[in-house]
Amino acid sequence: MQPELQHLRDTLAEHAERQPQRLALWGDSERLDYQGLLTEVQARESLLRESGISVFALALENGPQALIWDLAALFAGVTCLILPPFFSPAQRAHCLHQSEPELVVAEEALTEELQACGYRLDGPFWRPQSGAGEVPMVPGTAKVTYTSGTTGTPKGVCLSAEAMLRVARELELVSRASAPQHYLAVLPLAVLLENLGIYAALLAGATVSLPSQRQLGISGASGVDWPRLLGMLMARGAQSLILVPQLLLGLVTAIERGAVPASGFRFIAVGGAKVSPPLLQRAVRVGLPVYEGYGLSECASVVCLNRPDAHRPGSVGQPLAHVQVRLAEDGEVLVQGSTLLGYLGEPGFSGDWWPTGDIGEFDSDGYLYLRGRKKHQFVTSFGRNVNPEWVEAELTQGGAIAQAFVHGERLPRNVALLWPHDPACPDELLASSVAAANLSLPDYARVASWVRLSEPFTPANGLLTANGRPRREAILARYQQLFCEPVTE
């Protein structure tokens, strides 16, 4: 067994022996102490081993049962795929067809999707009706985590247990000085960052609150019932969280308004997208211990992180001990250590340094500052990666919209600039075209608001290249205010 995997197993066994009655998992209503957690994981591990399968998929709401199955697959040496609830049905179908799991544990609400993908219910499991084919899995893959889908087809990132658990151990080490005893999982388990945050909390012997997304008031990729979420944070007495920027904004705003206190929180990591400096300053003013970090699925999530004893606002922190980070000649951030084994269905990764696609620079003390992305892809404030060209293609294929420009960097909702084929067409036709395009997109890629342009993009006005491609930087510069305050919904 790999060293980090053995360390997690030994640590859970030690917690079960030394603090058997300490609350380990707290779901909507289910509670398990550390002894109960170990017993449940061992039972599921035996079941998976006896089944003889190699690939296992989870499509459960956040909760103790989802985590128990996840840990059991990890210890059984079975590749685990957690289907993202914020994906569209077509994207989930792609994940299943590509990975071909031999067993699936899923919510009842996914019955029609699974049947459409050729699965039948057999007791607690869904099984493929025709038998699973030969999956081109990269050897050593413990988990396949799918990217948010910068285009319509998300990519499966294959990670080893060693890579993931080394990151989890580093997260536990950097938060140890704050000694959080109660971690609350806010993000879906399908988000690798959340998955590893839970592992880190278990390594620390803390209580992990794992309520369902419904109980938290979170729906899809960006829907939040704030009174419900804030009420849960207070009711559970959460001391540690991992948040994306938009959730941090909501928490800071609530504290500023006196709706909830800042006291009680000991360590809040924020990642998934760039955090605005003003928001971090507001967090400091209200007394929140917020630490920005940086990572990507291809590097088993967290690469850099600010921490209590090494904190520089505006940076994403110094690299953690398990990785090396350097810059290419053009400033691209390159990472070595805990990198992916490869993408599912593609040749394995055999290089030393992973090119992140992000541009950065280091200060004299080794803190990394991000300066933008090499490609056009943007990251929403909820941490979802979106390729705007994908969304723009959906908008323009309906016949009414001639030109579309989509932007959502650090925004809670995506905004589009539109120019119609017929300048005299009514706004209602544009609105119906946007609505039709949104039906084919997952919610994090949909256009929430749009602005009708007063003129098209052309080479003459400097907003289009000679071969018809939008000049993105020029468009962003000219229409910057519209992306701050979209006017049509």
CATH label of the domain that carries residue 280: 3.40.50.12780
Give the pLDDT confidence score for residue 148 in this predicted structure: 67
Residue 82 within any structural domain of the chain: yes
Show which of 335, 350, 376 is a domain's final residue. Answer: 376
DSSP string, 53-114: -SEEEEE--SSHHHHHHHHHHHHHT-EEEE--TTS-HHHHHHHHHHH--SEEEE-GGGHHHH
Give the pLDDT confidence score for residue 485 in this predicted structure: 46
pLDDT along the chain (489 residues), means of 10: 95 98 98 98 97 96 98 98 92 94 97 97 93 78 84 87 98 95 97 97 98 94 90 97 93 96 96 86 96 96 96 95 96 96 94 94 96 82 88 88 93 95 94 94 94 92 80 92 60
Alpha helices in 371-419 (DSSP H): 388-396
- Residue 276 is classified by DSSP as P
Is 215 exposed, middle or buried (CB count within 10 Å of its CB: 0-12, 13-18, 19+)? middle
Residue 49 CB partners (closer than 8 Å, separation 6+): 76, 77
Whether 332 and 393 share a structural domain: no
* CB 83 within 8 Å of CB 55: no
Residue 140 within any structural domain of the chain: yes
Whether 149 and 261 share a structural domain: yes
Whether 422 and 302 share a structural domain: no
Residue 382 within any structural domain of the chain: no
Give the pLDDT confidence score for residue 233 in this predicted structure: 97
Whether 344 and 404 share a structural domain: no
Whether 99 and 248 share a structural domain: yes
Q: Give me the phi and psi of 161, to 5 degrees please.
A: -60, -40
The reported pTM is: 0.88
Whether 396 and 368 share a structural domain: no
Find where tokens 């170990």 sit.
38
Residue 431 CB partners (closer than 8 Å, separation 6+): 450
Whether 309 and 441 share a structural domain: no
Residue 381 within any structural domain of the chain: no
Show which of 376, 405, 434 is a domain's final residue. Answer: 376
Instruction: Tell me how many helices (H) and strands (E) the chain has.
Output: 15, 28
Q: Give me the phi and psi of 370, to 5 degrees please.
A: -90, 140
Q: Domain count of the chain? A: 2
Give the pLDDT confidence score for residue 115 in this predicted structure: 97
- Identify the domain containing residue 403 by its residue range: 387-484
Whether 340 and 414 share a structural domain: no
CATH label of the domain that carries residue 447: 3.30.300.30
Show which of 346, 376, 406 is a domain's final residue. Answer: 376
* CB 343 within 8 Å of CB 156: yes
Whether 359 and 297 share a structural domain: yes
Residue 489 within any structural domain of the chain: no
Q: Give CA–CA dist 373/485, Å, rounded.
A: 23
Alpha helices in 270-328 (DSSP H): 277-285
Give the pLDDT confidence score for residue 391 in this predicted structure: 92
Residue 231 CB partners (closer than 8 Å, separation 6+): none
Give the pLDDT confidence score for residue 149 in this predicted structure: 55
Whether 284 and 416 share a structural domain: no
